[in-house]
Amino acid sequence: MTATDFPAARNLVGGEWVDGGPLVLDVIDPATGDAVTRIPDTDTAGVDAAVAAARAALPAWRKTSEFERARLLHALANLVRDDIDPLAELITREMGKPIGEARGEVRKLADAFDYYAEEAVRVYGETIPNEQAGVTSIVRYEPIGVVGAITPWNYPLELIGWKLAAALAAGCTIVVKPSEYTPSSALCLFKLLAPAGFPPGVANLVLGAGTAGRALASHADLDKLAFTGSTATGAAITRSLAKAVPASMELGGSCPLIVTGSADIDEAVAGCLRRGFRNAGQICIAINRVYVHRSVHAEFVEKLTAAVAGLTLGPGTEDPDVGPVTNAEIRDRCAAHVEQAVADGARITTGGTPVERAGTWFAPTVVDDVPASTPLAQQETFGPVVGITPYDTTAEVVELANATEAGLAAYLYALDLEEVFTIGHALDFGNVAVNNPDAGIMNAPYGGRKGSGHGYEHGREGLHGYLQIKHLRIRYQR
Ligand code: ADP
């Protein structure tokens, strides 16, 4: 693969690259505003064919040994590592992130395949004592079956990879619909499946937007749906499921950062910079709202403002600190949240407006004295904007942090042990990172609660999401 090739926009169904319909959707480079490729919005018949292929491949695939599945996943990891640069370039061209971050994403994708290759052979059951003599109960884990996966554009490969790796490791077959904004890196990933040795039909790809997404989410022959995306689409998908299948939902989160009076302020500023502005703030676990104890508020605001004002902004291909935002919807929401916060009494300390150039851009922004009721402090902005609110007591800050529908990730900087444990335990979030900005790691479970969804990815729990329990009760003495 050469770095600038955009692959032909076709679906992968049962091992064959097939036409997904008329090419009706433009894919835009957000750094320039230019269309770089076009894709179909696969219709119901096209999605039916992909689900049928996954169903047909299931009986043989579920019987392969875990060791064979592990071997293929390791082979896929190695092929991905051989293609880091071209895969990263496609990510950057289609959604704008700095090329260094895109390379990091591809490396972590390969790591996810290795991780689940290793986990595949570590799925252990249990034997359970029975009251009755001569009877034993065995708990075994079996693949759930055919999985539908629908993914967004902010981590175009990793968010497919976590689902694909765990599903294949578990012995499931899968149909993936990537975001219509970022189809090409997914296409190139799926081209590696056959060379890695995966049988046809085990993993299938359908391109498209709402038509393809709705057809897949509501398909009657799925055994599980795995979704990452907006809260609104997650709710629509939940309503549209054809039957009572398990569904994992990784939805939005307006993530809080709490900086207490005992915090190392320089570390807190560095953490906020990383988790607020990386990927232009387009991360489900991005820091959106910051609560700073009044005793350190002025120092934190001054240092964060200086750090954010120093961030370089430019096309992802030039590897700046911050690239464009991926689409006009994000740019316009950033502007609306900032404008409303100012109207509600907040003040901008740096940035605050879209950047006038071709493509879609928003200046890295810090807003101070943000009232708790304004959308910037309530909703997910999903852009390079952070709002700060001073607070006085621990009880007050816990209430503020917990007072939205968000339950994915929260961050705390504090050196006082009592604060670490009191606040760490009281935060109503699935992931809480203390004195570090990385709430998700591959070998620990990652998932939301409240409006941020349910189900887990990463870790052993991520694999168990694709397994179902069988209680096998055997009477062996008569
Ligand atoms: P984001 O803006 O974070 O990408 P979306 O929820 O809009 O979040 O999109 C996430 C994924 O869901 C994309 O692949 C998109 O095409 C798909 N999608 C959008 N609408 C629907 C729908 N009604 N049913 C199923 N999938 C959908």
Question: pLDDT of 246-290, one tens digit each?
Answer: 999 999 889 999 999 999 999 999 999 999 999 999 999 999 999
- How much is the pLDDT for 431? 97
Average predicted confidence (pLDDT) for the chain: 97
Over residues 306-317, the mean pLDDT reads: 98
Q: What is the mean pLDDT of residues 121-135?
A: 96
Q: In this structure, are residues 149 and 164 in contact, taking their beta carbons and an 8 Å threshold?
A: yes
Q: What is the pLDDT of residues 423-452, one digit of tens each?
A: 999 999 999 999 999 999 999 999 999 999
Span from the CA of 285 to the centroid of ligand 1 (angstroms): 18
Q: Is the CB of 179 under 6 A from ligand 1?
A: yes
Q: Could you give the CA distance from residue 327 to residue 52 in angstroms, rounded to a whole number?
A: 34
Report the percentage of the chain scoring pLDDT > 70: 99
Atom number in ligand 1 closest to CA 153 = 4
Whether the predicted pLDDT of 2 surpasses 60: no
Quick one: how far is CA 449 from the chain centroid?
Answer: 15
User: What percent of the chain has pLDDT above 90?
Assistant: 98
Q: Is 284 a catalytic residue?
A: yes
| pLDDT for residue 253 | 87
**Residues 241, 218: Cα–Cα separation, whole Å:** 5
Residue with the smallest CA separation from ligand 1 atom 19 is 210
Does the CB atom of residue 151 touch ligand 1 within 6 A? yes
**Per-residue pLDDT reduced to its tens digit, 320-334:** 999 999 999 999 999
What is the Å distance from ligand 1's center to 230 Cα? 7
**Does 214 contact ligand 1 (Cβ within 6 A)?**
yes
Pocket mutation for ligand 1, best pick of 94, 175, 233, 284 (most atoms within 8 Å of C-beta): 233
142 is catalytic: no
**Between 66-82 and 99-120, two packed helices, what is the crossing angle to 10 degrees?**
170
Which strand ranges, in their side-by-side order, compose the sheet holding 203-205?
Answer: 16-18, 11-13, 203-205, 173-177, 146-150, 224-228, 247-250, 453-454
Q: Is 209 in the pocket of ligand 1 (CB under 6 A)?
A: yes
Rounded mean pLDDT, 66-80: 98
| pLDDT value at 126 more than 90 | yes
Q: Enumerate residues 6+ apart whose C-beta is below 8 A from 100.
A: 319
Q: What is the pLDDT of residue 3?
A: 43
Report the predicted TM-score, pTM, of the whole model to 2 decimal places.
Answer: 0.97
**CA 40 / ligand 1 centre spacing (Å):** 15
List Cβ<8 Å contacts ≥24 apart for 302-306: 303/265, 303/266, 303/269, 304/269, 304/272, 304/273, 304/366, 304/386, 304/388, 305/349, 305/350, 305/366
pLDDT at 4: 58
Phi, psi of 410 (to 5 degrees): -140, 155
DSSP structure class, residue 180: T
